[in-house]
Amino acid sequence: MSKKKKIMFVCLGNICRSPMAEFIFKKICADNGGDFEAASSGTSSEEYGNPVYPPAAAILARHSISCRGKRAVQFTAKDYDDYDYIVCMESRHIRSLERMLGGDPRHRIYRLLDFTDNPRDIADPWYTGDFETAYNEIYEGCHALYEHLTGEETSK
């Protein structure tokens, strides 16, 4: 039997984008039957222990997605060994991880929207205030990632 694939979503603070990705991806798996493990973390320790930022939690709740109990954590070198796919929200998060790890020797680090037909960063809603756009882009990326991993179309 093949091992369950583990996915780690990464942003800067782990209070906005990567928790949105974690819980959107879990919902896609619940709805479509994917057998994956998902988690999220930040490149920074700035928000360690904090809950999901209220506007991000609110937009998830509007889509019937709960993030209850999630607290921010920082990405560690051990995560690089433990997770099969490390999926960042922006190129600069990839650069931070590569600095920490001395590169990406196992080729596990990706950018979320590189799985779509329109590769780009997810703009930081902490600064833009636009949680709706962040949600829509993360939703698009998570569906594309799921389809990449399973080879199956999702119901959108």
Binding mask 21-50 for ligand 4NP (x = CB under 6 A): -------------------------xx---
Residue 126 found at the interface with ligand 4NP (CB under 6 A) = yes
Query: Least distance in Å: CB of 2 to ligand 4NP?
Result: 32
| 136-150 burial: b if 16+ Cβ within 10 Å, else e | ebbbbbbbbbbbebb
For residue 19, what are its two tokens? 């928790």
| Percentage helix, strand, coil for the chain under 3-state DSSP, each rounded to 5 | 45, 15, 40
Closest residue to bound ligand 4NP by CB: 13
**Which span sits near ligand 4NP by CB under 6 A: 11-19, 99-107, 109-117, 148-156?**
11-19
Query: Least distance in Å: CB of 65 to ligand 4NP?
Result: 16
| Helix spans in 39-150 (H) | 54-62, 77-82, 91-101, 125-128, 131-150
Point out the residues that are catalytic.
Answer: 11, 17, 124
